[in-house]
């Protein structure tokens, strides 16, 4: 009888702690990676344009994932053809939304650099979660393409699990061509 009361007290204490920490404390955590680490950890690195995005249920109708079709403009590692399908956990099917923290968000027509890993299922997943997708944009004055890369000082800070978010990462804009040269240097090219 005493053990049942003790278990009930422990369970109640756990619930109270969860509420005191807040729901945000339950987010997934990702270890920060440098561009060099992303480059070395990836099976494929490409840049191109998102042409189609579709959210689907898994085979058991338990989880939703999103498939992003990317028209590859170029590869720095592991060429896969002209169209690459990238899978991201989460998405929206009809009125049901399944969100997974720390996952990158893609939009049709956007250009980006993507670092990919191969899942055991054969699907292409984004290496390093939100860190593995960098949006390409044009400088309105020059028309040159730029990438917002993680600031080197922050990326090389002490490694720890943390909650990452595209909107809170410190970045610096550099020319796409310079960023591609940087990645190639990490790969010994």
Which three-class secondary structure state does DSSP give residue 117?
A: strand
Residue 188 φ/ψ region, left for φ over 0, alpha for ψ in the -120 to 50 degree band, beta for the rest:
left
Answer yes or no: is pLDDT of 167 > 80: no
Task: Give per-residue burial for 12-21: e unless 16+ CB within 10 Å, then b.
Answer: eeeeeeeeee
Alpha helices, DSSP H only, in 22-165? 35-41, 152-155
Q: What pTM was estimated for this model as a whole?
A: 0.78
In this predicted structure, the answer to whether residue 151 has a pLDDT above a threshold of 50 is yes
For 7, other C-beta atoms within 10 Å of its C-beta total: 10
Structural domains for the chain: 26-186 (2.40.50)
- State phi, psi for 39 to the nearest 5 degrees: -65, -45
In the chain, % of residues over pLDDT 70? 75
Q: Which residue has the higher pLDDT, 54 or 12?
A: 54
pLDDT in tens, 33-79: 999 999 999 999 999 999 999 999 999 999 999 999 999 999 999 99
């Amino acid at each position: 009888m005493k053990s049942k009361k003790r278990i009930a007290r422990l369970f109640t204490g756990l619930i109270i702690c969860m509420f005191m920490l807040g729901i945000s404390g339950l987010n997934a955590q990702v270890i920060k990676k440098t561009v060099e680490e992303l480059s070395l950890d990836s099976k494929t690195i490409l840049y191109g344009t998102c042409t189609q995005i579709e959210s689907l249920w898994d085979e058991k109708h338990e989880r939703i994932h999103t498939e992003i079709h990317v028209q590859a403009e170029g590869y720095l590692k592991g060429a896969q053809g002209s169209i690459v399908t990238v899978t991201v956990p989460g998405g929206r099917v009809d009125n049901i939304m399944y969100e997974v923290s720390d996952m990158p968000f893609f939009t049709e027509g956007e250009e980006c650099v993507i670092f990919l890993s191969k899942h055991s299922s054969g699907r292409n997943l984004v290496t390093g979660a939100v860190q593995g997708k960098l949006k390409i944009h044009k400088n309105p004055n020059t028309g040159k393409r730029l990438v917002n890369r993680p600031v080197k000082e922050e990326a090389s800070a002490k490694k720890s699990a943390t909650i990452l978010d595209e909107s809170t990462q410190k970045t610096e804009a550099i020319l796409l061509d310079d960023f591609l040269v940087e990645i190639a240097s990490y790969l010994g090219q």
